[in-house]
A and B are shown apart, each in its own frame.
Chain A
Amino acid sequence: MIDNPKSGMTLIVKTITRLTVGLILLFGIYIILHGHVSPGGGFAGGVIVALSFVHLMLAFGKDVAISKVSKNLASSLESIAALMFLSIALLGFLGGSFFLNILPKGTPFNLFSAGIIPLCNIAIGIKVGVGLFAIFLTLVIVEKSK
């Protein structure tokens, strides 16, 4: 399916995409994970992750991208990420207050620091990444209504 010359763009675009799409995905994950020590965070990283899939879709046609992440999987993941964010917030009740940062804060500028903030960033990153991808997907395949 990937090498089908009928769907998607030309060979040049496909080759470049094959080289770069992994890098874009990795960069998005990096931005999400370092959200608490550098600019960026869940939303910016999530958008980059979504863009890597959109990139795939533009270059190879929509079937390839859907084979990686189907629409149902995207919306399930989105709900799971939202519930994850909510349960992180609910964990604060263990310490006495909603959204309380109960985990140890660590030293600033370390990767493992800032308590629940990296976890929140990961949840937001997944939510935004799949959410944006799902939006793009629904706009590409406008289902013919009855």
Chain B
Amino acid sequence: MTLYFLCLMLFCVGLYGVLRKRNIIKMIVGLGIMEYAMNLFFVLMGYRFDGRAPIYAKDQEILNMVDPLPQALVLTSIVIGLAVTALIISIALRIYEKYGTFDITKIKKLKG
């Protein structure tokens, strides 16, 4: 249970970074932390006590495996995270080109 709460704390750290930081690069880092927290959480969901890596090998019989499905799903989610991060960083670079600053409080042409 402690591990899950630590995941939650990590998630909250990320959320804090996204919501409260003024530098947009720091916001992106916060987003990354949030993604790691949720991936970690999902992998932990598939853990079994004394489980081994879910790999079949020659001449070996493994009885107690951890759940392999969340690991496959988390891999997908990491790829998605990579795509989002790459896109947001390139947008942030263009924003810097246009506004000359990374400070979110100075980037406000829109009223929102």
Instruction: Give the contact stretch, choosing among B23-31, B34-42, B90-98, B100-108.
Output: B90-98
Task: Give the docked Cα–Cα distance between A31 and B90 (Å).
Answer: 30
Residues of chain A in range 1-44 having any CB-CB distance to chain B below 8 Å: 38-39, 43
Q: A43-B75, A109-B58 are in contact. Are A142 and B97 (CB under 8 A)?
A: yes
Chain A residues with CB under 8 Å of B86's CB are: 135, 139
**A window 36-92: CB within 8 A of B:** 38-39, 43
Classify the interface of chain B: helix, strand, loop or mixed.
Answer: helix
Tell me whether B55 is interfacial, beta carbon within 8 Å: yes
Interface size of A in residues (CB-CB distance below 8 Å): 11
Interface residues of chain A: helix, strand, loop or mixed (majority): loop
Interface bracket on B: 10 to 19
* B9 at the A interface (CB under 8 A): no
Within 8 A of A (CB), among B11-57: 53, 55-57
A residues 99-139 near B (Cβ < 8 Å) are: 108-109, 135, 138-139
B65 within 8 A of A: no
Q: Which residue of chain B is the closest to A135 with respect to CB atoms?
A: B86
B79 contacts partner chain A, Cβ-Cβ < 8 Å: yes
B8 lies within 8 A of chain A by Cβ? no
Q: For residue B78, give the distance in angstroms from its CB to the closest CB of chain A.
A: 9
Q: Nearest Cβ in chain A — how far from B72, in angstroms?
A: 10
Q: Which residues on B are within 8 Å of A, measured CB to CB?
A: 53, 55-58, 75, 79, 86, 89-90, 93-94, 97
